[in-house]
Amino acid sequence: MTNRLSRRIYVQVADESSGEFGVRAQKAALMAIRDSFKKIIVLGRPIVPAYDEEGIFYIGFLDFLLKPEMLLWQRR
């Protein structure tokens, strides 16, 4: 979790070695947080950054590290 003034972002990193189970476990941890701040799952492989139906933002680790402006993208 990170805070900056009135913004808060929750970040979970999915362990690719545990496959889809790891992603589901990280998603469950984020879904247990009952506020409206942004929730992000960082994957260890390149992906097209996108939101899922629950509003969780998925991003690859290189984009997460090298393109921090992507963390400010809003769901449309």
Q: Closest Cα to residue 29, out of 15, 2, 11?
A: 11
Instruction: Count how many residues are written for the chain.
Output: 76
pLDDT digits (tens, 9 = 90+) for 27-45: 999 999 999 899 999 999 9
Res. 4: pLDDT tops 70: no
**Percentage, residues of the chain above pLDDT 70:** 87
Q: Residue 69's pLDDT band (boundaries 50, 70, 90)?
A: confident
Asked if 2 contacts 9 with a C-beta cutoff of 8 angstroms, the reply is yes
26-39 CB burial, b ≥16 within 10 A, e <16? bbeebeeeeeeebb
Global pTM reads 0.84
